[in-house]
Structure 1
Amino acid sequence: MPSEISGMNAGDREATRFLIDEALSYVYPAALRAVAMTGVADHLANGPLTVAELAGRAGVHEDNLRRTLRLLATRGIFEELADGRWGLTAIGQPLRADAPLTARPAILMLTERSLWQPTGEMEQVLRHGVSAFEDLFGMPFFEYVARDQQAATAFHSGMAAFSDQENAPIAASYDFPAAGTVMDVGGGQGGFLLEVLRLATGLEGVLLDAPHVVAEHRLDVDEVKGRWRLSPGDFFTEVPAADVYMVKRVLHDWDDDQCVRILGNCRRAMAAGGRVLVVDAVIPAGSEPHQAKAVDVLLMTGLTGRERTEAEFARLLEAAGLRLSRVIPTGTVLSIVEATAGD
């Protein structure tokens, strides 16, 4: 063994160092969640503070805060000034709850225990091929979210914040019809539908989601007044008639059979000449980094869904009586997968 160690070259040492650093990576989102939960960034909105001042305002332990800030500063989120005070960097500004495009709810959703804990059971998922969620929480993910108010708030607020920075560019990437009805299937609080209605001023909008979700809608805005309605319901059971269906960040939550049910309901209700727009990540070929590859593993450990390639979307659509006509890039992580009637 000593001879083997002494024979290690610089490449071996670098590879070992890299893997150890990768194994420590979970510490960063834990620290990010801690400062988001305690509102540390909010207290820096008016400028830098000493650690003592910041700890006092946030109600946290001074020395442990210093150590946490020091860690997150290595990722460029906080910075220590020459006089010893700490401030937010430009990258750190979205940690504030009042930032124009706050990342705080998305961070709290992604690090909430309903998503965090199953990832720690990935060995079980690899061995048995099923999500670890039910073993940990005693029920499927969405049933748990419907029953647990803290998890529900984290999930729905987080998904809205997750989407806020992408909704406008995605809406602008598609040439919507001049008139007709557009339905946002599983549209959450309606952030994406709002952006579509702002751009496509001749369209009427419908927001379809569970009753407790649409109750928190954000469509009550003067510029789209009178052009939308709510449709509380279950997209697995029935989807009302429309000209364009938008299914954004929905299919990746479900397995193939469940996706075919959702898409099939859209196909049966779709008006003549109608379209289905699946707005989801399309996993590219190759080994380049892509956010969808990380989200895919998150889904693998906690839900029944997955991120998909273009070929996988084509098979889903065909099984639902639809035909993939084109994939439209949007300048975001997501693409628009456009489908028309298959016959």
Structure 2
Amino acid sequence: MPTEISGGDRDATRYLIDEALGYVYPGALRAAASLGVADLLAGGPLTVAELAGRTEVHEDGLRRVLRVLATRGVFEELPDGRFALTPTGQSLRSDVPLSARPAVLMLTDTTLWRPAGEVELSLRQGGSVFEDLFGMSFFDYIARNQQTAAAFHTGMAAFSDQENEVIAASYDFPGSGVVADVGGGHGGFLLEILRRRPGLDGVLMDEEHVVAGHRLGTEEVKGRWRLAPGDFFTEVPPGADVYVLKRILHDWDDDGCVTILRNCRRAMVPGGRILVVDAVIPPGNEPHQAKAVDMMLMTAFPGRERTEPEFARLLAAAGLRIARIVPTGTVVSIIEAVEQ
């Protein structure tokens, strides 16, 4: 007798097939971001012919891409065939506060896209497949490719811009002393901290070519910061009261993280604190951005997202302990660490 197929079976199969097609959407999103379609629609709806002419692409293909993005609420196809921006699509413009465009271009770059398609290889051999695909590690690759490095650092800045103010407001930073942002990129988070604490001074540490693009040159924090180009695996600037590691540890394996943490512990003043600003993977089956990012990290980086017990073990190996975990209302939390 043939096996009876229920409606639930059909629904499950349809669901999984739709999920398997999910990779089409970020491909379309990247194309729209790269072509600047949202910028072109800022003044109002346009026909596909008008958009194709201004972006110098094929009209029929662009219509098909925009149709996919309209199903996800980025654009809207109007009854007359023109396309318009939605409130969500406004964030894809390059000229708006908190533009998502640089982050979208970073997250869909080939350096992250290709490894993500090789999850099975990652599982079979264990760890990142980046070197298999590109012949070197991720960070070696961006060190040799200026265009990719620029996209990565600009994208990370945009990724952080939408959360920096909220995170800085969620923690009671001291009213005086020195805060060192280790691996702080262009300094967006440090800028928010200094804005909120006029008595604090700041140190921005990252590689020389990264800190060269800093954003600290504003009048409101003038004279209260300095740059410290360097390698946090070797040493960090000494004498700070607070060391911030924002979205840094998740890039590295446990041994690398312990080295960074030990360097911070040795450098901080007595009674100092280290703030690890990273996602803490929650237990259970609920969706959480960190679970997806963790798989991306698995395929492209030596690092990982971590649970609270994993952070506790990592810190203990560096002679530190968790004093408290501060939720921020964003994907990341602030793990406050002190000496054991």
Which whole-Å CA distance do the structure 2 matches of 1:334 and 1:203 have between them? 23
Normalised TM-score (structure 2): 0.98
2:37 maps to a residue whose letter is V
Aligned partner letter, 2:80: D
Matched, 1:167 2:164: yes
Identify the match of residue 96 of structure 1 among 82, 93, 99.
Answer: 93
The equivalent of 2:271 in structure 1 is 273
Distance 2:155 2:56 in 1: 24
Tell me how far 1:84 sits from its aligned partner.
2.2
| Residue number in structure 2 paired with 1:328 | 326
Instruction: Give the distance between the partners of 2:226 and 2:253, measured in 1 at CA.
Output: 29
Counterpart position of 1:64: 61
| Corresponding position of 1:232 | 229
| Candidates 172, 192, 195, aligned match of 2:192 | 195
Which residue of structure 2 lines up, in the alignment, with residue 25 of structure 1? Answer: 22
SS of the residue 2:149 aligns to? helix
SS for the counterpart of 2:66 is helix
Partner of 1:108: 105
Q: Which amino acid aligns with 1:230?
A: L
- Cα offset for 1:276? 0.3
Paired with 1:162 and 1:108, the residues of 2 have a C-alpha distance of: 11
Secondary structure of 1:245's partner?
Answer: strand
- 1:176 and 1:330 map into 2 onto residues whose CA distance is 14
- Give the count of matched residue pairs: 339
> Please, which runs of 5 or more residues in structure 2 have no aligned partner?
none
The corresponding residue for 1:251 is 249
Q: Return the alpha-carbon distance in structure 2 between the equivalents of residues 183 and 16 of structure 1.
A: 52
| Identical amino acids, percent of aligned pairs | 71
Cross-structure match for 1:15: 12
| Alpha-carbon distance in 2 for matches of 1:73, 1:3 | 41
Output the TM-score relative to the length of structure 1. 0.98
Cα pair 1:43 1:58 within 8 Å, conserved: no
Distance 1:222 1:3 in 2: 77
Cα distance in structure 2, aligned partners of 1:251 and 1:217: 21
Give the Å deviation of 1:130.
2.0
Q: Which residue of 1 aligns with 2:203?
A: 206
Q: For residue 293 of structure 2, what is the amino acid of its counterpart?
A: V
Q: Is residue 156–residue 188 contact of structure 1 (8 Å, CA) maintained in 2?
A: yes
Q: How does 1:257-336 map to 2 (within 5 A)?
A: 257-336=255-334
Work out the CA distance in 1 between the residues paired with 2:12 and 2:20.
12
* Structure 1 unaligned regions, length at least 5: none
Q: Which residue of structure 1 lines up, in the alignment, with residue 181 of structure 2?
A: 184
The structural deviation recorded for 1:83 is 2.6
Q: Quote how far apart the aligned CAs of 1:18 are.
A: 0.7
Q: Secondary structure at the match of 2:22?
A: coil
Distance 2:73 2:213 in 1: 34
Please state whether the residue corresponding to 2:11 is helix, strand or coil. Answer: helix
Q: Shift of the alpha carbon at 1:59?
A: 1.6
Once the two structures are TM-superposed, the CA of residue 61 in structure 1 deviates from its matched residue by: 1.1
The SS at the match of 1:26 is helix
Residues 1:83 and 2:66 aligned together: no
Q: Which amino acid aligns with 1:99?
A: V
Cα distance in structure 1, aligned partners of 2:156 and 2:243: 19
Question: Contact conserved, 1:30 with 1:111, CA < 8 A, in 2?
Answer: yes
CA distance in 2, matches of 1:315, 1:281: 16
Amino acid at match of 1:288: E
One-letter code aligned to 1:339: A
Mean Cα deviation higher: 21-30 or 310-319: 310-319
CA distance in 2 between counterparts of 1:137 and 1:51 reads: 37
Write out per-residue CA displacement over residues 292-341 of structure 1, whole angstroms, 9 at most, x where no aligned residue: 00000000000110000111111111111111000000011010000111
Q: Secondary structure at the match of 1:127?
A: helix
Deviation at 1:85, TM superposition (A): 1.6
Secondary structure class of the residue paired with 1:3:
coil
Larger displacement relative to structure 2 (92-101 or 293-302): 92-101
Question: Moved runs in structure 1, 4+ residues, more than 4 A?
Answer: none
> Structure 1: how far apart are the matches of 2:132 and 2:51?
40
> Which residue, out of 149, 153, 163, partners 1:152?
149
User: Aligned-pair distance for 1:82?
Assistant: 2.5
Match of 2:2, SS? Answer: helix
Q: CA deviation at 1:218?
A: 0.6
